[in-house]
Structure 1
Amino acid sequence: MCFQVYLFQVCIFYFCILQFVFFQVYFFLNAISLFKFVFSSQVLQFVFFQVYSSIFILSSLYIFYLSLYF
């Protein structure tokens, strides 16, 4: 049972890392192709998705460390 929980948390952790990488690539491509958009809205979008992905990664790390203790 403990091993299954551990595997589940590892899968969530890697999914969140992949999601973070996806958003990094997405905004890198946006910065290249969408320079004609308003700068402030692009910055707001970038900050929003940075916060979103970092919350996912931090929460998965927290759950991962919790699963190590149980």
Structure 2
Amino acid sequence: MAANEKTSAAVAKIASKALKSPSSLTPAEIKKLAASALTQAADKPAKPVKKKKSPVKRKVAAKKVKRKAVKKKR
């Protein structure tokens, strides 16, 4: 929210009317009140940007092959 954002006299008049008799507001007046309230709300703090990790190349271990026992011929 900037320091110079203030409620206008017209919006203040609509807000006063809403407090006295909420059912007397027109849809356009409701939109003005909502827009004013949203404009004057505090800004959301910025989320810190996460750094992407570079993909790590992993060495693939060779599989050990089990050898079958071979009988020697005589």
TM-score range, shorter chain: 0.3 to 0.5
Which structure dedicates a bigger proportion of its chain to helix?
1
TM-score relative to the length of structure 2: 0.35
The structure that has the greater radius of gyration is 2
